[in-house]
Every structure is written in structure tokens, then in C-alpha cells.
Chains A and B, each alone.
Chain A
């Protein structure tokens, strides 16, 4: 490793001395390494860029370019800058947000990464970027029979798309197994085992693009939650009730022809390899009253394991899911209020809960989180570390008079990396907790009082003898 870095360093120095081609924006990438992980149905790309400013003006932001097809499937872009050297190396996160550029060729889309401090002329910095793509593996053949393995296409470019000149670059693609049907040859490219290596390529100008297709076997269960609605209901009497409604689908190659149970049962490894029948939901610790059901009743196949750090709910849909099959179900549980609700200032509270989907290793196409605040709460505001669509609703539950405020958060394309805490702040007067009991008590009091009064009133005209 150290040797490699050393040789790189030599190389960079050589580059600095040799070609210093000034690109239009003044930045150039000295060294780019890209690693594409195709092991699951979520594509994760790790990009390391070493950037130098060749312009006189200090640079404050770095642009990342994406082809329009990829941009639509981007679930997340994260950037960090390395601080310190070697042993003391640490990463500090940077802000990455989508931007528009006036002179974008072929509909190229951009993310801009703001640097911590402007990059002066001649300075270099190293950015670590992670971006996640969903629905980027296209099953081919589109329909497979029960005993067939699932083959998929992945399309990308051998050369990193960038608005800057890239002096030196290499791409490594990791496939889940050694079964790679074919891949586009862009010399130098070679495959060893489950690793495809494109590059190194030297000195490619801005917006160089060289499309490649990798056709390989991926039997990872393509579990996609088409719609997920999470309802988090806060009760100040001590509990947070969570209800998650799932609409699950297997987004891999469609199942074709017959489904034979005998084959599925007798050859678990050979038949229906891309299907899945278990899912793991990770729930908060100290959950209680967990239920798992669908529209026709309780689903009897689930297991709950709890410990002090987390609870794991192993659920099994009613039937194994093959490509194109769907299932809907509902998971509900209660968690203690004190774990998630905190007081920020007198009268102001905030809920701290995790965003995203409880089920591990899934993509959620459309996630709706509804935080039902207790009746009488005011001024709700949300803190989420990424962009979501927000709206407010009213909900009426038992004995509600003015209705409960519901904070609705919507996000598309949610991946496990979105499983981070978010906060909902609101103001709440504890007196409202007494509203419902008082209402009930007064109703009964009035009822009894009325009956007492009725029994004591003598409405007869003549006096009783």
C-alpha cells in the first residue's frame, strides 16, 4: 500500500512537471480511481479524486458529472475530503447538491461538491465520493424459468465522465461471482475472478465517454419496496406506535412459466436461486407488541430476537417471492417514549427517529413517513439531513376534537444509507394530555348528574298524597 502510494506520488510529481494542460475551469484531476460494486441490486460506486487547481482564482467547488440515465437512478451522493496524512488521516464530510450548468453537453447532469476551504493555485486535495444507483441492473433475459440463474446488464462508461481533464484513471468493477457472460473491451481491460479492471487510462479530456456493458450473473434477491408508509404516532402517555405498510416486489428477472414446488423444495440451491423467502427487519431495542400481518390476517411465519442494542424481526412472506411477484404486509410495534422523545426547551420537544426502511438491504421506491403528533401540538418543524418533500395533514383519532397534526415526509429512491436519524420539533403543552380523560370524566359526570336530577325532579302537576 505504502509502495503504491509512493509510486503514485512519483507519478503525480512527474505529471506536475510534465503536462499542465489548463482546462477551461481551471481544475484538473490528477488521479481518479473508481470502484463499482455490483454485488447486490444496489450499485455502490466509490470514487477517489485527486484534484489540483491550475487556475489563478481559488476554486470553491468541484463538479461531478453524471449521464442523464444514471442521474435519474441516483439515490445518494456523499462526498468527503481527506484531512491529514497517512496515519492521522480522517474524513470530513462535504456538502453535495445537484446543480445546473449552462453548457452541459448531451444533457449531462451535475452535482457540486463544496470544498471546506477554497483551493488556491497549485494546491491539491483528495475527495472521497460515494454514490449509489438503484434500478441500474437490467435483467437480461427479462424472463427466466425457475431453474435459471438471473443474468443482468450493467451499463456505464469505462472512462469517468467529468468536466475536467483526468490525467490518470482506473476503474474496478466487482461482480458477485465469477460468472461474467461478457463485458465490453476497452483496452486495457482484463478480468480476474470476480474483478473487472478497466484502465489505467491516461490523459482523457473533459467529457470523455466510452460506454461499456457488463453482462453477469447476480442472484442477489432484488427486494424492492414499491411503497412504504410508516406511521409514527406519538402518545405522551408513554409510547411511540409505529406502523409500517409494505408493498414488496421482486424486481429481478420475471418468473416465466410454471412454478414447481417439488423443484423448489428438493433443490434449494439449484432452483429459484434468485428468489427469496426471508427478510430481516431491524427494529429499535425494547420494542413491544410487535405484529406482522396482511389484509387477510396474521402471518404466522416470523421470529423476533431482541437484545439491548437492537431487535431483529425475521419475517417470511406468505410465499417465496420470484421475479415479478408481489406481496403486501404490515409490521407494527410500539417503543418506549423516553427512548425517542426529548425536551429541547421548556414546552418544546423533539422526536428523534430513524429515517428509511426497517428491512435490511432493500430499495424503497416511494417512502412516506407520517409523524402523528399528539393533539394540541404546535409549530412542527423537521430536520432531515437530505432533501424530502414535506407537507402537513390532520388526523382524527379516538376522542379527538381539533385533530392531530401529521407531518408527512416523502422521499423516492431510498437506500439503506438513508437509515439515519431525523428530528421533528414541536411545541406541546402537557395540559393537553388531560383533555381526553377530562372529557370522558365530565361526560360521565354530566350523565350521572342528569340522571340524579331526573330522579329527584317531580314533574307531576298535582301533589302526591
Chain B
């Protein structure tokens, strides 16, 4: 409890979601607006006098305010409490003002003294209606103070508790008679306030919370401009990638509401806030089987150990282990989360990925003779598997933010999505994005990924793109795979993509996929989000191929090139020759035909 912001500060996967950041004052005002001022009044009203019900309301608001201070998304918890408190405040206020008005209006006809007594009579009648006498109230009240906790014994009692204090307060408030003009004015102002609040709510609901975040619009002097790039890319993916064409024609027009899909909205950007990034990190949809927490841990452990093991650790062993140690639940999750390689194919590559110094180590590993043979066998096995691979699905890799969208709109299976609970899993994709091309290709092909999707806003100035999220990918990746180090991507602690950027940054897959041939658009590669010219302008991709880019360049899809020109024997020899120094290795790697 002392360190309530620990998760949102130090666990990158939680910290990366801007909804998990503490809210700012403007966001409070945006979301609850006038309620922010009415809530304190409501709290005061709850103390006049304090009953079981009102103390519950006070506790409710206090705890929800506390939790909403931890992360923005818990504003959802605050909202009902704030509504209740504001309702109490407004009710009390109207009570006082209308009573004063009534008092004055009746008072004009009769003399004030009678009036007061009549008024008291009225109040008493109201009290009689509740069939509670003044004495009862007092005794009950003293009882309340003694045993506050046991007051929930029966509903009837509860009901009485509400009625009784109100009676008392009314009797007390007999003295609170305000001047007529003031009360009329106040009532008018309160109604106006309420009306304004309704207008505000409608506006917020329309602009901030209902705007379809995949169809972006921008208003310029020459009218409304629509950026429909996301759906363009998803439609392209669903129709023009040859994999897994499960959707039949008749089904394809069935109304499919992408309720899961939400995200950025331009309004957030206009407010100077970017906190609606990605909303649904923690929500569980019913289509996913519930996963027992232990199983996830087990799965993680298994992954970590399996990945770190020496090469002789065979697949069948792994499979046996996993199937014995995990429940059926885990198997379900395995099916959905394809980090577990289903063929011998992926194994070596993953080893390469987790070994301390990435790919160089991979070559060193396979120096010794018998291991080489095994690798050879592995490869043969892989070739044999190729025929089987045809019936496997090919996956689309992107940052998890776009997982649901790709699943729902492009009808393609993704590697990670908004409901991926497995940190290692997300970290693998983050690592791939942060790695140089070759290493990334290895990771992706070990995951059976065929297409990589990146979101790029540099051409039209769309700020929530992958380059802006990239540091989180580095952090999340680095949290699990320590060879990815955040400082490598920062120049003097600054995140930059211009000519001052670090070589690691400029060679990372994310940079390359985002800015591939970008310089040809305007001749100098000016990024409109970062407001700078990009650092590395002319480069080629060797392992990836641009297969689609949307009209405004907001979504770019790349395909993994197949390693068809691989000369097996040659690679082996060069590997075995390259012995000790990394420099010689580099040279040999340059001669690698599919480099």
C-alpha cells in the first residue's frame, strides 16, 4: 500500500499502458466535470448527520478516489461513487433552497410566526408518515453510535435509519431559511449547472469515448479528412494473404461489431494527453479460456528453462515435460499462444535468441563436431517439416496493441494481442522489434510469423505510432532478454531517431520497417511526429519485403523473405572456421549469402 504506483512505474508492461499512469487533474475534470466540485459538498452533507448509510457512502468515495489516483482507468471505479455523492449534495441543496422558497411564498399570505409553526407541523407530518416519533429517533440514534457495525441486521432497520436522520436534519434545518432571491437564484444556477453537465457529458461521450479509433479524422481548413488506413490494411490482409482463408463468403458480411477495438483518438491528442493509448490490457474476454495463474507461472518457467537449456534438450522431452506438468488449461493456452514451437524448426533459433550475445553466440555454439551434425539433422528435419507447414497457420506479428484489431478485422492469427498475459511472449515480440534485421528474422521465423505489421505516423503526423512506443518494446523485451539494453537506444538519455541516434536504434527492425523508403516521399525524410529528419535515410531490407503500405503510410506490412538461397555446406564451414574473434565472424557473416 505504501508504494501503490510500483507496478505502474517499474513493471514495463504495465507502465507502457498510458491508462495505467496516475491521472492528471485535467483528466479528472474531463471525466467527471462538475461532479468534482459537488463531491466535497456531498461528503459534507453525509456528515450532517452521519448514519450507517452515509458513512458507507463516505468510505466508498474515499477509497475510490484513492484508487483512481493510482491509474487513469480506475476512474471507472470513481464514477459511480462520484455520482452518488453529487446526487446527495444536489438533493440537499435543492432541499434547502426549495424549502426556503416555499417558506417565503407561504409567508407572504400569513404572518411569519404561524408560518413557522405550520412548517414545523408539516415536517412533523412528514415524520409521522414514517411512523417514527421523535423519542424513538433519539434512542435509536444513541444505539447507532454504540454499535454501528451491527446495524445491518435487517433491511427494515436500515430503511428506518435512512428515514430517521432525514427527519432530524429537516427539523434542524428549519433554521436554515435563506432569502427568497438568493434561493431562487441558487436553484436556477444549480439547474443551469446540471444542464451544462449534461451537455458536457454528451460531448465527451461523442468526442472522446465513441470516436471510432480506427477511423481517424482531422479537420483542416479544406474540410474533414478521413484516415481509414487501419481498415485498409486489415482488409488487405484478410483478402490478399493466402493463409487460412476460413471465412466463407456468406459469413463474411455477417455483422461483426468490433467492440474490442479501441485505442487512440485524436481528441486525446488535442487535449495534450495521450492517455487513451491502449485500453484493454487487463480485460478478459469470454472467448479466452480462463487460465489458472499457477499455470502461467509454470508455463513461463518452462519457457525460460527450455530456452536456456543446451541444444541437446530435445523437443519430445520438452513436450513430455510440458504435458505432464501442466493441466489441460495450459494446453489451451498453448494453442492460442504460439510461442511454443510446434516443430523442430523453431528450437535452435530460440536458443540463439536467448543466448547472451544473440546471433554471434549461435555460431559459436555449433562449432563442435557432433553438435554440428545434430544441427544438420535438425535442418533436414526442418526441410521435411516444410510440407507439414503448409497446413499450419502463418501468423501476423505486430505490437500487441493491434492484436484484437488484426484478429477481428483481418481474420488472421496474431502472435500477441490485447489479452496476452504472458509477459515473455510480449517480450519476445519486443525483442524482435528491437533487434537488427537478421536476429529479428530468426525470432519471427521461429514463431512461424509470415507478416509483420508496423504502425507509422511520420508521414501524416499520427503520434501514437510504433516509433513512439518503441522504447516500451525495448524495456519489455529487455526485462526478459537481457541482451536488449535500453541505454543502447538512447543518446545521452534522450530518445531520438535523427542523425544523433545510436547505431543500435538505427539498425533496429522497428526503425527500418518504419522508415523503409520513407526518404523518397519528400527527399529528406522529415518525420512529422518527431519533427526531425530521420537519421538513416537510405537503406535496404534483406530479410523483409514490403508487401503493403496504406494510403497515408499509417500501416506498413512486411513479409518475411524465405531463405531460399541458403547454401548449407558453405554456411557450416564458415561457421566452423570462424573460431574465436567476433571480428572475423562478422566478416564471414557478411559473406553469408542470405545476409
Residues of A that sit less than 8 Å from B by CB: 227, 245, 247, 257-262, 265-266, 294-297, 299-301, 318-319, 324-328, 330
Total A-B residue contacts, Cβ distance less than 8 Å: 74
Q: What residues on A are CB-neighbors of B247 within 8 Å? A: 295
**Is the CB–CB distance between A259 and B546 below 8 Å?**
yes
**Is the CB–CB distance between B547 and A266 below 8 Å?**
no
Q: What residues on A are CB-neighbors of B231 within 8 Å? A: 296-297, 318
Q: What residues on A are CB-neighbors of B553 within 8 Å? A: 261
Across chains A and B, which 4 residue pairs bring their CB atoms closest together, nearest first? Answer: A261-B549, A318-B235, A318-B232, A326-B239
Whole-angstrom CA separation of A319 from B551 in the bound complex: 8
Q: A296-B235, A318-B236 are in contact. Are A259 and B547 (CB under 8 A)?
A: yes
Whole-angstrom CA separation of A147 from B545 in the bound complex: 16
Residues 396 to 422 of chain B near chain A (Cβ within 8 Å): 408-409
**Is the CB–CB distance between B234 and A296 below 8 Å?**
yes
7 A-B residue pairs with Cβ-Cβ distance under 8 Å, sorted by A, are: A258-B545, A261-B549, A261-B551, A295-B252, A318-B231, A318-B236, A325-B240
Q: What residues on B are CB-neighbors of A324 within 8 Å? A: 240
Q: Which of A245, A297, A300, A319 contacts B236 (CB 8 A)?
A: A319
Interface residues on B, range: 20 to 34
Q: Give A261 Cβ to nearest chain B Cβ, in Å.
A: 4
**Is the CB–CB distance between A227 and B546 below 8 Å?**
no
Q: Give B249 Cβ to nearest chain A Cβ, in Å.
A: 6
Q: Which of B249, B252, B521, B546 contacts A258 (CB 8 A)?
A: B546
Q: What residues on A are CB-neighbors of B1 within 8 Å? A: none
Q: A260-B546, A318-B228, A319-B235 are in contact. Are A328 and B517 (CB under 8 A)?
A: no
Q: Which of B215, B239, B517, B546 contacts A325 (CB 8 A)?
A: B239
Q: What residues on A are CB-neighbors of B215 within 8 Å? A: 297, 300
Residues 235 to 286 of chain B near chain A (Cβ within 8 Å): 235-236, 239-240, 247, 249, 252-254, 256, 258
Most A C-beta atoms less than 10 A away, residue of B234, B252, B254: B252
B548 at the interface (CB under 8 A from A): yes
B287 at the interface (CB under 8 A from A): no
**Is the CB–CB distance between B517 and A262 below 8 Å?**
yes
Q: Which of A258, A262, A301, A327 contacts B239 (CB 8 A)?
A: A327
**Is the CB–CB distance between A258 and B240 below 8 Å?**
no
Whole-angstrom CA separation of A127 from B234 in the bound complex: 53
**Is the CB–CB distance between B240 and A295 below 8 Å?**
no
B390 at the interface (CB under 8 A from A): no
Q: A261-B550, A296-B409 are in contact. Are A330 and B239 (CB under 8 A)?
A: no
Whole-angstrom CA separation of A129 from B226 in the bound complex: 50
Residues of B that sit less than 8 Å from A by CB: 215, 226, 228, 231-232, 234-236, 239-240, 247, 249, 252-254, 256, 258, 408-409, 517-518, 520-521, 545-551, 553
Whole-angstrom CA separation of A301 from B548 in the bound complex: 19
Chain B residue nearest to A294 in the complex (CB): B235
Chain A residue nearest to B545 in the complex (CB): A258
5 further contact pairs, Cβ within 8 A, besides A260-B517, A261-B550? A258-B546, A262-B549, A295-B247, A295-B256, A319-B235
Q: What residues on A are CB-neighbors of B517 within 8 Å? A: 260, 262
Q: What residues on A are CB-neighbors of B546 within 8 Å? A: 258-261
Whole-angstrom CA separation of A299 from B226 in the bound complex: 11
Whole-angstrom CA separation of A325 from B239 in the bound complex: 7
Chain B residue nearest to A326 in the complex (CB): B239
**Is the CB–CB distance between A257 and B545 below 8 Å?**
yes
Q: Which of A294, A296, A327 contacts B258 (CB 8 A)?
A: A296
Q: What residues on A are CB-neighbors of B548 within 8 Å? A: 259, 261, 319
**Is the CB–CB distance between B520 and A262 below 8 Å?**
yes
Whole-angstrom CA separation of A371 from B587 in the bound complex: 71
**Is the CB–CB distance between B549 and A295 below 8 Å?**
no
Q: A296-B258, A296-B409 are in contact. Are A260 and B549 (CB under 8 A)?
A: yes
**Is the CB–CB distance between B249 and A300 below 8 Å?**
no
Whole-angstrom CA separation of A265 from B545 in the bound complex: 18
**Is the CB–CB distance between A300 and B228 below 8 Å?**
yes
Q: What residues on A are CB-neighbors of B249 within 8 Å? A: 227, 245, 247, 328
Q: Give B438 Cβ to nearest chain A Cβ, in Å.
A: 19
Chain A residue nearest to B405 in the complex (CB): A296
Q: What residues on A are CB-neighbors of B409 within 8 Å? A: 296
Whole-angstrom CA separation of A300 from B108 in the bound complex: 66
**Is the CB–CB distance between A330 and B235 below 8 Å?**
no
**Is the CB–CB distance between B549 and A259 below 8 Å?**
yes
Whole-angstrom CA separation of A265 from B460 in the bound complex: 15
Whole-angstrom CA separation of A265 from B522 in the bound complex: 12
Q: A318-B235, A319-B235, A326-B239 are in contact. Are A245 and B545 (CB under 8 A)?
A: no
Q: What residues on A are CB-neighbors of B253 within 8 Å? A: 245, 294-295, 328, 330
Q: What residues on A are CB-neighbors of B252 within 8 Å? A: 295, 328
Q: What residues on B are CB-neighbors of A319 within 8 Å? A: 232, 235-236, 548, 550-551
Q: Give B52 Cβ to nearest chain A Cβ, in Å.
A: 40
Q: Which of B226, B518, B520 contacts A300 (CB 8 A)?
A: B226
Q: Give B537 Cβ to nearest chain A Cβ, in Å.
A: 13
**Is the CB–CB distance between A258 and B520 below 8 Å?**
no
Q: What residues on B are CB-neighbors of A295 within 8 Å? A: 247, 252-254, 256
Q: What residues on B are CB-neighbors of A260 within 8 Å? A: 517, 546, 549
Whole-angstrom CA separation of A248 from B518 in the bound complex: 31
Whole-angstrom CA separation of A325 from B240 in the bound complex: 6
Whole-angstrom CA separation of A327 from B551 in the bound complex: 16
Q: What residues on B are CB-neighbors of A258 within 8 Å? A: 545-547
Q: What residues on A are CB-neighbors of B254 within 8 Å? A: 295
Whole-angstrom CA separation of A294 from B254 in the bound complex: 10
Whole-angstrom CA separation of A261 from B547 in the bound complex: 9
Whole-angstrom CA separation of A297 from B547 in the bound complex: 24
Whole-angstrom CA separation of A247 from B551 in the bound complex: 22
Q: What residues on B are CB-neighbors of A299 within 8 Å? A: 228
Q: Give B477 Cβ to nearest chain A Cβ, in Å.
A: 27
Q: Give B346 Cβ to nearest chain A Cβ, in Å.
A: 26
Chain B residue nearest to A245 in the complex (CB): B253
Chain A residue nearest to B518 in the complex (CB): A262
**Is the CB–CB distance between B235 and A266 below 8 Å?**
no
Most B C-beta atoms less than 10 A away, residue of A245, A300, A324: A300
Q: Give A217 Cβ to nearest chain B Cβ, in Å.
A: 25
Chain B residue nearest to A265 in the complex (CB): B521
Q: A258-B547, A260-B549, A296-B231 are in contact. Are A266 and B520 (CB under 8 A)?
A: yes
Chain A residue nearest to B227 in the complex (CB): A300
Q: Give A26 Cβ to nearest chain B Cβ, in Å.
A: 52
Q: What residues on A are CB-neighbors of B551 within 8 Å? A: 261, 319
Q: Give A389 Cβ to nearest chain B Cβ, in Å.
A: 19
Q: What residues on A are CB-neighbors of B545 within 8 Å? A: 257-258
Q: Give A241 Cβ to nearest chain B Cβ, in Å.
A: 15
Q: Give B432 Cβ to nearest chain A Cβ, in Å.
A: 20
Q: What residues on B are CB-neighbors of A301 within 8 Å? A: 228
Q: Give B51 Cβ to nearest chain A Cβ, in Å.
A: 40
Q: Give A266 Cβ to nearest chain B Cβ, in Å.
A: 7
Chain B residue nearest to A261 in the complex (CB): B549
Chain B residue nearest to A296 in the complex (CB): B409
Q: What residues on A are CB-neighbors of B228 within 8 Å? A: 299-301, 318
Whole-angstrom CA separation of A328 from B258 in the bound complex: 18
Most A C-beta atoms less than 10 A away, residue of B226, B235, B408, B548: B235
Chain B residue nearest to A301 in the complex (CB): B228
Q: Give A101 Cβ to nearest chain B Cβ, in Å.
A: 39
Q: What residues on B are CB-neighbors of A296 within 8 Å? A: 231, 234-235, 256, 258, 408-409
Whole-angstrom CA separation of A436 from B501 in the bound complex: 71
Whole-angstrom CA separation of A328 from B245 in the bound complex: 13
Whole-angstrom CA separation of A227 from B252 in the bound complex: 13
